[in-house]
C-alpha cells in the first residue's frame, strides 16, 4: 500500500534547512516536488518574497546538497508572464514584462532562480498552470477565487448582472485541477521532460466574456455589458470604501479582465500526446464548478498560508 511508504514530515520552506529537524532522514532523497507558495493576488511584498522567492532558494539549496539527486519538479505559474502583449510561449521568461501584483513578480523571480540552477546542471522540470479551478468531473476545490468571484457577484444580484466592457480578445486561461495533476503525473516520469517548461492551461481557452456568459446562463442571470472600461471599474473598487465588499469583487481580479496575454502550450500538448491526458473545454465542466460552489459554501477565497 502506498500509505505504508509515505512519511509525513512538517517543515517550513521559508526557514533555512526547510525547518527540518536533524532526525528527519533526507540523505536518500532523489526527487523533490516544490508546489508550496503564497497564491494571493493581494499578498504583501514581504510575505511574497519570503515564501515564494526565499522558499525557492531554500528548496534549491536542499536539492544541491543531495548526492544522488535526480529531479526537481517545480510548479511555477503562467503568470510569470506579467502583462505581456501577445502569446507567451513555454520557452519565454525574461521579456521586460510589467507585473500587476507581488504574486506575479515573486513567482517570476523564483522561476528565474530555478532556471539559473538548471543552467548550472540541476535536473529539473518546470510546470506553469494557468488559473486553476475545480475538478472537471466533480467541481471539487478548496478555494473560491479567480472566476469564482464573478459567479459570487452574479449570485448577489436578483435578475440582471451588470458587467464592464470586457474586450472580445481577452482570454481566460482557466484549467481544471484534475488536468494539471494528471499532466504533471505523466510528464514527471518522462526522460524527455527534463529541462523543459510546460504551460498547463487550456490550448483553446474561452474568452473572459464567454466565461461570464456561461456562468450567467447557468445561474439564470441576464448580462448587461455596460460601456464602461474595466480600468474605471477597477479604480472604483480600489478607491470607493465598501465597494469591494458590496460587489464581492476584489480590485485585483479586474486586472485579468483587461489582460493582453495568451499562453502557448505546444510542449505540453506534444509530450502528452498518446497518454490520454488532455485539457477539457471550459463549457463542458463549468456547471460542475458552480454546482460544487453552491453545495459547499464553507470554502472561501482566503489564501492558504
pLDDT in tens, 47-75: 999 999 999 999 999 999 999 999 999 99
> Quick one: pLDDT at residue 247?
87
> Quick one: pLDDT at residue 297?
86
> Quick one: pLDDT at residue 302?
61
Interval 66-105: pLDDT, tens: 999 999 999 999 999 999 999 999 999 999 999 999 999 9
Mean pLDDT, the chain cut into blocks of 10 residues (305 residues total): 84 95 91 95 96 98 96 99 98 98 98 99 99 98 93 94 94 98 99 98 98 97 95 91 88 92 99 98 98 88 55
The C-alpha angle with vertex 212 and arms to 141 and 43, in degrees rounded to 5, equals 55
> Quick one: pLDDT at residue 93?
99
pTM of the entire predicted model: 0.95
CA atoms of 158 and 9, how far apart (whole Å): 48
From start to end of the chain, where are the E strands?
31-34, 71-75, 86-88, 124-129, 131-133, 160-165, 174-176, 197-200, 222-229, 261-263
> Quick one: pLDDT at residue 245?
85
CA atoms of 289 and 175, how far apart (whole Å): 12
As to burial, measured by CB atoms within 10 angstroms (0-12 exposed, 13-18 middle, 19+ buried), residue 201 is buried
CA atoms of 124 and 195, how far apart (whole Å): 6
Amino acid at each position: 500500500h502506498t500509505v505504508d511508504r509515505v512519511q509525513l514530515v512538517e517543515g517550513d520552506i521559508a526557514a533555512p534547512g526547510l525547518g527540518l529537524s536533524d532526525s528527519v532522514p533526507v540523505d536518500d532523497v532523489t526527487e523533490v516536488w516544490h508546489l508550496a507558495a503564497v497564491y494571493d493576488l493581494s499578498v504583501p511584498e514581504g510575505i511574497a518574497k519570503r515564501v515564494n522567492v526565499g522558499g525557492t532558494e531554500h528548496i534549491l539549496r536542499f536539492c544541491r546538497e543531495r548526492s544522488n539527486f535526480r529531479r526537481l519538479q517545480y510548479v511555477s505559474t503562467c503568470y510569470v508572464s506579467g502583462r505581456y502583449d501577445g502569446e507567451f510561449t513555454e520557452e519565454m521568461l525574461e521579456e521586460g514584462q510589467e507585473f500587476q501584483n507581488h504574486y506575479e513578480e515573486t513567482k517570476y523571480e523564483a522561476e528565474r532562480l530555478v532556471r539559473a540552477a538548471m543552467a548550472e546542471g540541476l535536473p529539473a522540470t518546470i510546470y506553469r498552470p494557468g488559473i486553476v479551478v475545480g475538478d472537471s468531473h466533480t467541481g471539487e476545490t478548496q478555494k473560491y477565487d479567480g472566476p469564482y468571484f464573478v459567479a459570487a457577484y452574479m449570485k448577489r444580484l436578483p435578475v440582471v448582472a451588470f458587467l464592464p466592457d470586457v474586450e472580445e480578445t481577452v482570454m481566460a486561461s482557466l484549467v481544471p485541477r484534475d488536468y494539471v495533476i494528471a499532466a504533471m503525473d505523466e510528464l514527471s516520469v518522462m526522460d524527455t521532460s527534463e529541462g523543459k517548461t510546460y504551460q498547463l492551461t487550456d490550448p483553446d481557452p474561452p474568452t473572459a466574456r464567454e466565461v461570464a456568459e456561461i456562468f450567467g446562463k447557468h445561474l439564470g442571470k441576464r448580462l448587461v455589458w455596460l460601456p464602461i472600461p474595466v480600468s474605471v471599474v477597477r479604480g472604483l473598487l480600489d478607491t470607493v470604501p465598501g465597494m469591494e465588499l458590496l460587489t464581492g469583487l476584489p480590485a485585483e481580479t479586474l486586472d485579468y479582465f483587461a489582460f493582453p496575454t495568451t499562453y502557448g502550450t505546444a510542449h505540453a500538448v506534444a509530450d502528452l500526446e498518446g497518454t490520454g491526458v488532455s485539457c477539457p473545454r471550459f463549457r463542458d465542466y463549468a456547471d460542475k464548478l458552480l454546482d460544487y460552489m453552491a453545495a459547499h459554501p464553507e470554502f472561501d477565497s482566503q489564501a492558504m498560508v
